[in-house]
Structure 1
Amino acid sequence: MKKLFLGLAIAVSSLSFAQEKAKESSSSVTFGVKAGLNVSSINDDDSKAKAGIYGGVFANIPVASSFSVQPEVLYNGMGAKDKTYSSVKLNLDYISVPVMLQYNLLPELYVEAGPQFSFAISQKVKGDGGSVDVDQAFKGFDFGLGLGAGYYFEQKFGITARFVAGVTDIAENNPGDAIRNNLFQVGVAYKF
């Protein structure tokens, strides 16, 4: 619960700071939607990457002529496949709140970096025999660091790519090596 409040406090303080700076900037805040493909994995020798989807909303808040803060709220379908039995999948569904700091290299091209706070909404192992909840085996919170880029073909439509490296151990009561999420996203974005 403390991590949830910490994540929300960081997001709110970032938004507050960004809104103050945006008032000083000549550009206005823009809102948008984004969606695309996730390729996720966990750092476990018995697993391999699995495809999923993501989608959500964002606000782009200019803080200077080339800098902006972009908080987002996304659904992220993450997890991994079993290396031996490819029909067995670990499905980890999160509501993620990335807060990305963006720098425009060109008016259409940006690079970004920032934290991502993720809150589990479903944790299941799915196989040929159905699915089983594994909420007790995994933590409800995940923290990661993202690095990405994007290009807007027009002022409103663009493509995005991002890698998020997990920092926290997602396994509950894990005596061994930390199990972390890793995520690569590619998708499209549209600003209103």
Structure 2
Amino acid sequence: MGISKTKVCCLIIFLLATIQDVAAQINFGIKAGYLRSKTSPEIIDKWHNGFCVGAVLSYDVSKEFALRCDLFYSTRGYEENDGIVDKNGVIRDVKANFGYINLPILVEYNVLPFAAIQAGPQFGLQTNRTLYYDDVKQNDALFGEKQIFDFSLVVGIKLKYKNLFAELQYQHGLTSAYRHVDIFKTKAISVNLGYMFNFKK
């Protein structure tokens, strides 16, 4: 028993309407920001200055809730004055920079028409790292074993006005920047500015 052309047409119309409805609730944008981090906060007091930049995708589940997924690049690390004695016995400052590709998946709850709170996990890949003694780049062999996978928890506050938004986020790292060395976990604060291209009132 075949399916009638009428049923096929109705099914196609239903699927197109569903896709259109879902697409209408998806917003795309970009963001960039300043990221201040500590990697190994237990032994290093100095904050590291970095940045983040990337893309934003947000799906409106309802008027109150949205599912947010970002894809961005960030720099983190640590700095320490007089942090090491080199092979010649000279005391030097240490700075380590780490680059990550990050994928946070956040739930946003609109507490006010112009403000939302955020929370969720963040997955990452460590793409590059650089070590400096007194601002002189060192051989990567001095680094410990790389931890490629990164995982953290993110909470934040977002303020929005039409296409623009600003957010303050805190990141609590659960994995170390080095394998087999648990203390090098990142704590970071970022201030981001963003623009949503297809914002709808």
1:190 paired with 2:187, answer no
Per-residue deviation at 1:24? 6.8
The verdict on how the C-alpha distance between 1:140 and 1:113 changes in structure 2, with shifts beyond 3 A counting, is: same
Runs ≥4 residues deviating over 3 A: 22-25
Q: Is the 8 A contact 1:169 1:179 kept in 2?
A: yes
Shift of 1:100: 0.8
Cα RMSD, aligned residues only:
2.4
CA positional deviation for 1:88: 2.2
1:62 aligns with 2:60: yes
TM-score, with structure 2 as normaliser: 0.76
Distance 1:46 1:189 in 2: 31
Counterpart CA distance in 2 for 1:171 and 1:136 is 6
- The 8 Å contact of residues 66 and 108 in structure 2, kept in 1 or not, is answered as yes
Of 23, 28, 32, which aligns to 1:31? 28
For the 8 Å contact 1:39–1:184, the answer to whether it is kept is yes
Structure 2: 5+ residue stretches without partners: 1-17, 84-91
- Runs of at least 5 residues in structure 1 that lack an aligned partner in the other structure: 1-19
Residues 168-190 of structure 1, C-alpha deviations (whole Å, 9 max, x = no match): 2332123xx53211111002010
Q: Which amino acid aligns with 2:28?
A: F
Query: Please, which of 100, 108, 115 is the counterpart of residue 102 of structure 1?
Result: 108
Deviation at 1:75, TM superposition (A): 0.5
For the residues of structure 2 that align with 1:156 and 1:23, how far apart are their CA atoms? 20
Structure 1 residue 37, shift from structure 2 partner: 0.2
Letter in 1 for 2:31: K
| Among candidates 149, 154, 160, match of residue 167 of structure 2 | 160
Query: 1:108/1:50 Cα in 2 relative to 1: closer, same or farther (>3 Å)?
Result: same
- TM-score, with length taken from structure 1: 0.79
AA matched with 1:143 = F
Q: What is the identity percentage for the equivalent residue pairs of Structure 1 and Structure 2?
A: 24
Distance 1:65 1:72 in 2: 20
Match of 2:152 in 1: 144
Q: Aligned equivalents of 1:126 and 1:178: distance in 2?
A: 20
* Cα pair 2:176 2:184 within 8 Å, conserved: yes
Q: Which residue of 2 aligns with 1:8?
A: none
Q: How does 1:1-192 map to 2 (within 5 A)?
A: 23=21, 28-42=25-39, 43-85=41-83, 87-127=93-133, 128-133=135-140, 136-152=144-160, 154-174=161-181, 177-192=182-197
Contact 2:130/2:137 (8 A) holds in 1: no
